Structure 1
């Protein structure tokens, strides 16, 4: 498996993967992905196996250690020199789950974010994933104000040393 920066050609696969990983109310729309990629393509990474995109991770950068819903929809809020890397999505095709793909994508994104001089990484996740992210030293800082997709989310933060 290879982890690399996503290309514009990867967007079709990314959009399909998102639709398989999230309910319709929570999944990012094609237009959102295209706008995000245009605004912060340097923050899109894919996992590739046998020349097939099997997973991806992406997010914008911001000045504050938080992930309000408006960041998902307003690419003008992306600040390339911001102190915090956000994670909008960490998606892996169902048939490749539990094989380390998500772990490798997240480790890569953390490494790149540190190399870029970020202070930390923030994300929101559902209850059943809190423990997963804690394995990477993310701290659960409470229930999120997010109402994205009508779901309950938890705020998670990883501060870099």
Structure 2
């Protein structure tokens, strides 16, 4: 397996990230191009991209909050985001469908967690579909509860990692 390279997202990455996002997520659950641009602009430290042989193949984006309410859709708009806050909220963990199933998401997540730990963050929160609960549990996340969020018309589960 070629060695992936990780870096912070740049504004010029927005369109590629959007293409990956809409290719990997169903229906209305994908972020818009405008949301991706906002996330890169407002919190590049929490927007990790993964490249393989100089091609962007995946990313994780996040924001930070003092109080986390995962079902609050405003979180995805970075409303209340404070880069200095101790709690990280992951909005997307996405691998280009052409590269899925090869372990890249796990490598990317480990790199992201290490970076957040080094940044002094205390917790990482995320929501996932039921089929991904076991994957995140293996990564060290604890199950919190079924989420009241109906984002994208889907059922979600809240997960938490204490750093």
- Give the alignment's TM-score, normalised by structure 1: 0.94
What's 2:38 paired with? 35
SS at match of 1:111: helix
How many pairs were matched up?
159
- Match for residue 25 of structure 1 among 1, 23, 28: 28
Aligned pairs (5 A) from 1:10-159: 10-67=13-70, 68-73=72-77, 75-159=78-162
Task: Give the deviation of 1:66 after TM superposition.
Answer: 3.9
CA root-mean-square deviation? 1.1
SS at match of 1:4: strand
Task: Give the deviation of 1:150 after TM superposition.
Answer: 1.0
1:45-102 residue CA offsets vs partner (Å, 9 max, x unmatched): 11101111001001101112442322012x2311111111111000001111121211
Q: Distance in 2 between matches of 1:69 and 1:145?
A: 11
- Give the alignment's TM-score, normalised by structure 2: 0.93
Task: Give the deviation of 1:142 after TM superposition.
Answer: 0.7
